[in-house]
Chains A and B, each alone.
Chain A
Amino acid sequence: MSDCKDLLGALSEYLDGNEQSEMCATLREHMAGCDKCRLVVNTAKRTIELYRGIDVVEFPVDVKERLHGSLREAWARRAVQAESRRP
């Protein structure tokens, strides 16, 4: 039981692929005989994969149009200001 708790700190390192470290080797060894830890590691890994794999909500067309409209306006204002600063 204490093994499981002690090894929690190695979870992130393991998920980040630093599997060569001594702590990860201990975790891997422990997982071979501990279903619960194996389950936590696997579901944590799948959690990250799900977030990486799913497309974020589409960039909405209306937001995109407003963004570009506002950038064009700001750019034009900037140009006028730059012009007025010329000697």
Chain B
Amino acid sequence: MVKRTPNPLDRTEERALLERARQSDYSAFETLVMSCERRMWAIAWRLVTDKEDAENVVQTGFLKAMEALDSFRGESGFCTWVGRIVTNEALEVLRRRRRRDGVSLDAASSESDEGDPIALPELLVDWREDPSVGIQREELRGLLDSALEQLTPGLRAVFVLRDVEGLSGAETASLLGIAEGNVKVRLLRARLALREHLTEAFGGESMVHSHLVPHGLGGLAAALESVG
């Protein structure tokens, strides 16, 4: 039986556990794993949105961390370090999916983020007071996951890392191997696209279309898909 997840570790505890783990103490390594396994699952799940893939991503991430334990210098915290490995594994899954579907993620990620115009908000209607009232928590999760799934991997990764995981623009850029300026552009695109999807769910029936969108431009989501 696996023990319960402990409280977050402070850096001193973490360093001591790392030292013990390097000296072959499995229980120390296990404590480190348990301090961030939920967070790793959250990152993996939100990026790959599939239980089996998320499980493989988390497992591979921790196994790679185990193998590299002796070379980990501790410049960042253990969870940040494993978070990088897990994010890269998740992105690899997304790349494989894109290749399988005949679309190159690398081609998509090297596109000119800053040069393309940002698609403008289209659905202009206020949400009900509290969107979570009147629907089950599971249903709300489903809505949020489904909106996230509609983003391209490049946009999804930036949104998850910046807005959900709280990484800085610089950290996100370094993790994804893109310029910080591109993180900003993608974040804006992702936020606007998600806002649009959620407005469809929470905005009631009388949708008002924006005066901002040039006539005939088409849906915001479609415009974002074509550039993001």
Judge: A and B partners, yes or no: yes
Give the interface of A toward B (CB within 8 A).
1, 4-5, 8-9, 11-12, 15, 36, 39-40, 42-44, 46-48, 50-52, 54-57, 59-60, 63-68, 70-72, 74-75, 78-79, 82
Bound complex: CA A68 to CA B34 (Å): 9
Asked if B15 is at the interface (CB within 8 A of a chain A CB), the reply is: no
Q: Using known A-B contacts A12-B188, A12-B191, A39-B126, determine if residue A1 contacts B212 with beta carbons closer than 8 Å.
A: yes
Chain A-chain B contacts (Cβ-Cβ < 8 Å), number: 117
Q: Are B211 and A54 in contact (CB under 8 A)?
A: no
Contact call A68/B2, Cβ cutoff below 8 A: yes
Query: Cα distance A64–B194 when bound, in Å?
Result: 30
Report yes or no: A71 in contact with B144, Cβ–Cβ below 8 A: no
- Bound together, the chains give a CA A7 to CA B46 distance in angstroms of 30
By a CB distance below 8 angstroms, the chain A residues around B184 are 12
Q: Shortest distance in angstroms between A61's beta carbon and chain B's nearest beta carbon?
A: 8
Inter-chain contact B210/A36, CB cutoff 8 Å: yes
- Give me the interface of B with A, judged by CB distance under 8 Å: 2, 24, 26, 29-30, 33, 37-38, 41-42, 45-46, 51, 54-55, 58-59, 62-63, 66-67, 118, 120-121, 124-127, 131-132, 137, 140-141, 144-145, 148, 159, 163-164, 184, 187-188, 191-192, 194-195, 198-199, 203, 210-212
Shortest Cβ distance from residue B221 to the other chain A in the assembled complex, whole angstroms? 14
Complex CA gap A56/B47 in Å reads 12
**Complex Cα spacing A79 to B66, Å:** 12
CB atoms of A63 and B26 under 8 A apart: no
Q: A59 vs B59: C-alpha distance in the bound complex, in angstroms?
A: 13
Task: Take A54-B144, A56-B42, A82-B24 as given contacts and tell me if A67 and B58 are in contact as well, using a CB distance cutoff of 8 Å.
Answer: yes
* CB proximity of A43 to chain B, nearest CB, Å: 5
C-alpha spacing A41/B183, complex, angstroms:
19
Distance of A70 Cα from B26 Cα, bound (Å): 13
Set of chain B residues within 8 Å of A44, measured between Cβ atoms:
191-192, 195
| Inter-chain contact A79/B124, CB cutoff 8 Å | no
In angstroms, Cα B137 to Cα A52, docked, is 14
- B157 to chain A minimum Cβ distance, whole angstroms, is 14
Contact A63 to B55, CB < 8 A, known contacts A48-B191, A54-B144, A71-B63: yes
* Closest chain A CB from B71 CB (angstroms): 14
Q: A36-B210, A64-B2 given as contacts; is B66 within 8 A of A78 (CB)?
A: yes
Which residues in B have their C-beta under 8 angstroms from that of A55?
A: 141
Q: Do A5 and B195 touch (CB < 8 A)?
A: no
